[in-house]
Amino acid sequence: DVKVTQSSRYLVKRTGEKVFLECVQDMDHENMFWYRQDPGLGLRLIYFSYDVKMKEKGDIPEGYSVSREKKERFSLILESASTNQTSMYLCAGRGGAGELFFGEGSRLTVL
Amino acid sequence: SQKIEQNSEALNIQEGKTATLTCNYTNYSPAYLQWYRQDPGRGPVFLLLIRENEKEKRKERLKVTFDTTLKQSLFHITASQPADSATYLCALYSGGYQKVTFGIGTKLQVIP
């Protein structure tokens, strides 16, 4: 199984701050994903990457960017955090049959 | 647009009974249908998947059916236990580099 590790479980940031969420997977899988999860809205895809330096917008990319410099690492960046970006952020790697392996999540609060 | 519907209300059942969760979808032709379990404050955990040419899949106390004509999957947990209490997510995947799309989940509570 793919093991996915997210660097921070809980973060509190102020409006306007730049926020980095880091994600590392321990398998040589190409596809990685960033979702956010909010009550009543479920999991929504922000960005995904199918290879190093490749990225694709998901359903809600506005206000976010990503970086994939190495195969095992996929970072989500909030250039200027806003209160509506308070959420649970989940990173995932994709296994051979398309199944996703998620990290434990990063709960971000923007004040 | 693509839509996935799960019983959005919580499902309460008695310990030992079979829990049945439903996933319906529209405007989609998935190659795979996946089920995940999510505990509060944690990331989803993959349970099992079923392919479009499969009718049924089993894993221990779990059983999944997939009807591409009805555009529906049923997820069963037999001999349910309080430890099965969690939110269960249905997800659709078309294959290749396509994204995985999730339903909002059904919260299952197994009462001792």
3-state secondary structure chain A: CCCEEECCCEEEECCCCCEEECEEECCCCCCEEEEEEECCCEEEEEEEECCCCCCEECCCCCCCEEEEEECCEEEEEECCCCHHHCEEEEEEEECCCCCEEECCCEEEEEC
| Phi and psi torsions of B48, nearest 5° | -165, 165
Q: Is B33 exposed, middle or buried (0-12, 13-18, 19+ CB in 10 A)?
A: buried
How close B106 comes to chain A (CA, Å)? 11
Neighbour count for residue A99 (Cβ, 10 Å): 22
pLDDT tens-digit readout, B93-105: 988 778 899 999 9
Percentage of chain B surpassing pLDDT 90?
Answer: 77
* pLDDT per position as a tens digit, A9-56: 999 999 999 999 999 998 777 899 999 999 989 999 999 999 998 999
Instruction: Tell me what pLDDT residue A1 has.
Output: 64
What's the domain range around A85? 4-96
Query: B26-57 pLDDT, tens per residue?
Result: 888 888 999 999 999 999 999 999 998 999 99
Q: Which of B59, B99, B101, B106 is the best residue to mutate to test the A interface, defined by the most A CB atoms within 10 Å of its own CB?
A: B99
For B103, the closest of A42, A100, A101 (CB atoms) is: A42
A18 Cβ contact partners less than 8 Å away, ≥ 6 residues apart: A77, A78, A79, A80, A81
Residue A101 forms part of a structural domain: no
Q: Is residue A108 part of a domain?
A: no
CATH assignment of the domain containing A67: 2.60.40.10
Q: How many domains does chain B have?
A: 1
- How far apart, in whole angstroms, are the C-alpha atoms of residue B19 and residue B84? 10
Domain holding B62, by residue range, is 3-111
Give the separation between CA B23 and CA B91, rounded to whole angstroms: 9
- Supply the CATH number for residue B35's domain: 2.60.40.10
The count of domains in chain A is 1
A106: closest CA of chain B, how far (Å): 9
Q: Which of A42, A98, A104 sits opposite B100 (nearest CB)?
A: A98
Residue A103, in any domain of the structure: no
Which range of A90-99, B2-11, B41-50 scores highest in mean pLDDT? It is B41-50
Residues of A in contact with B46 (CB under 8 A): 95, 99-101
